[in-house]
């Protein structure tokens, strides 16, 4: 953190506050999640100036939950212009209000970073694939004494509370039904019209809910990889909740559900959140996509940028069959320069049809933002 302004975004519970306390132990912390602090500064944002001027020149100032009072950005801007050299770290779990509240005033001055659920490598020996697929890797869940109960509370209470706090959804009941219905779209091609029918509401309402989830950093969509396309491709993106544990907690399960209907999307989601975090923390210019032709050939993840062209398929099985290689084979026919990886639940490294087949757990543990993908695949 070398610039005077640093934005750190991420859903609640991903460890933003804990990390900042460890790296900036002497900073002035303004916690807008505290009701009294929120009331004081929302009534008179200029009170922040009085607090900051009490910090020695060059000192650090952390404003936690800045999206709750976006008017503070104007005060921060003025304090930076005053030349006292203070360094500001602004955290938030929503970028929506900030966009409306003047982030453009600070364009060019700010470093934007995001915080994600734990990567397997961060957890070291504590990471267990089966446990990760059940409860995810959100730090507040992983560190609790009862992860399943904490996850249930996170999904059922936090998500709705965040929406209420931001005043972003008038009908919380309708939004809760949407969260459940959207869980059936996790790790699949998104059909907004179909999701609207499932929720018994309009397409525009569901489109707004999807934007809301992304604004709250609780989901993301992957576009189709279209460079040098020779085949007709699907146009719709794939949808993912930001954490596979949150997906499982929102996805209803009944006696007619096969385990594969939940376990497969959970595994794809776990890989997606790892690749997304790796890209964010490594500050790579690469982008994450997926690939699917109208003929049905599909590759779960395509990473394209300075690290090269990488294609990953994920299968929730311990045995690699010829049919499992069809998507990567078709992608290789169109993009022969691509590195193609099949991640599976088995124990052995294999090479079939020029495709490297890897056990998924050691791959996830080997993903390190300070190293390239070559180190993860070995």
pLDDT tens per residue across span 63-75: 999 988 988 988 9
CB atoms within 10 A of CB 36: 8
- CATH topology (fold) of 5-114: Rossmann fold (3.40.50)
Residue 77 backbone dihedrals phi, psi, to 5 degrees: -60, -45
What is the C-alpha to C-alpha distance for residues 360 and 344, in angstroms, rounded to an integer?
Answer: 5
Q: How many CB atoms lie within 10 A of CB 265?
A: 25
CA-CA distance, 253 to 237, in Å (whole number)?
25
Predicted TM-score (pTM) of this structure: 0.91
**The predicted structure's pLDDT at residue 275:** 98
271 or 180, higher pLDDT: 271
In the chain, ranges of CATH 3.40.50.300 domains: 5-114
CA dihedral (246, 252, 254, 259) in degrees, to 10, reads -40
**CB-based contact 280:116 (threshold 8 Å):** yes
Report pLDDT digits (tens) over 287-330. 999 999 998 899 999 999 999 999 999 999 999 999 999 999 99
- Please check whether residue 289 is in contact with residue 224, taking contact to mean a CB–CB distance below 8 angstroms: yes
SS3 of residue 355 by DSSP = strand
What does 289-311 look like in DSSP terms, one character per residue?
EEEEBTTS-EEEEEEEETTEEEE
b/e per residue 107-142 (b: at least 16 CB within 10 A): eeebeebbbbbbbbbbbeeebebeebbbbbbbbbbb
Tokens of 372: 């390239």
What pLDDT is attached to residue 104? 52
pLDDT tops 80 at residue 358: yes
- Cβ 334 vs Cβ 302: under 8 Å: no
- The residues near 219 (Cβ < 8 Å, ≥ 6 apart) are 182, 210, 213, 239, 240, 241, 242
How far from each other are the two terminal CA atoms of the chain, in whole angstroms? Answer: 32
What pLDDT score was predicted for residue 164? Answer: 65
**Would you say residue 61 has pLDDT above 60?**
yes
pLDDT at residue number 102 = 54
pLDDT digits (tens, 9 = 90+) for 205-235: 999 889 888 888 889 999 999 988 777 888 8
Residue 107 pLDDT class (50, 70, 90 cuts): low
* Mean pLDDT in residue range 178-182: 91
Q: Is the dihedral of CA 18, 24, 27, 30 positive or negative?
A: negative
pLDDT for the residue 260:
76
């Amino acid at each position: 953190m070398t610039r005077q302004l640093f934005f750190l975004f991420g859903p609640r519970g991903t460890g933003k506050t804990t990390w900042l306390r460890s790296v900036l132990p002497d900073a002035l912390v303004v916690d807008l999640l505290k009701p009294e602090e929120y009331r004081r500064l929302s009534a008179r944002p200029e009170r922040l100036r009085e607090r900051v001027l009490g910090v020695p020149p060059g000192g650090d100032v952390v404003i936690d939950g800045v999206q709750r009072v976006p008017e503070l950005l104007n005060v921060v801007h003025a304090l930076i212009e005053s030349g006292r050299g203070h360094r500001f770290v602004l955290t938030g779990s929503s970028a929506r209000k900030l966009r409306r509240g003047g982030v453009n005033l600070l364009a060019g001055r700010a470093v934007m970073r995001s915080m994600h659920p734990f990567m397997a490598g961060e957890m070291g020996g504590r990471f267990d694939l089966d446990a990760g697929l059940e409860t995810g890797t959100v730090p507040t869940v992983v560190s609790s004494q009862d992860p399943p109960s904490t996850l249930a509370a996170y999904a059922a209470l936090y998500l709705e509370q965040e929406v209420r706090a931001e005043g972003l959804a008038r009908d919380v009941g309708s939004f809760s039904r949407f969260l459940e219905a959207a869980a059936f779209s996790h790790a699949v091609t998104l059909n907004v019209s179909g999701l609207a029918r499932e929720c018994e509401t309009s397409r525009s309402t569901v489109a707004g809910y999807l934007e809301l989830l992304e604004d709250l950093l609780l989901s993301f969509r992957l576009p189709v990889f279209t460079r040098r396309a020779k085949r007709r491709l699907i146009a719709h993106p794939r949808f993912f909740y930001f954490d596979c544990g949150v997906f499982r907690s929102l996805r209803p399960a009944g006696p007619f559900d096969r385990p594969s209907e939940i376990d497969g999307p959970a595994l794809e989601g776990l890989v997606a959140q790892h690749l997304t975090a790796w890209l964010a923390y490594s500050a790579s210019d690469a982008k994450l996509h997926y690939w699917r032709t109208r003929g049905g050939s599909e590759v779960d993840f395509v990473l394209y940028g300075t690290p090269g062209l990488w294609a990953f398929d994920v299968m929730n099985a311990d045995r690699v069959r010829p049919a499992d290689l069809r998507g990567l084979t078709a992608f290789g026919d169109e993009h022969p320069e691509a590195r193609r990886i099949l991640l599976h639940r088995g124990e052995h490294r294999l090479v079939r049809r020029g495709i490297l087949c890897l056990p998924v757990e050691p791959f996830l543990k080997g993903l390190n933002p300070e190293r390239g993908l070559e180190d993860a695949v070995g």
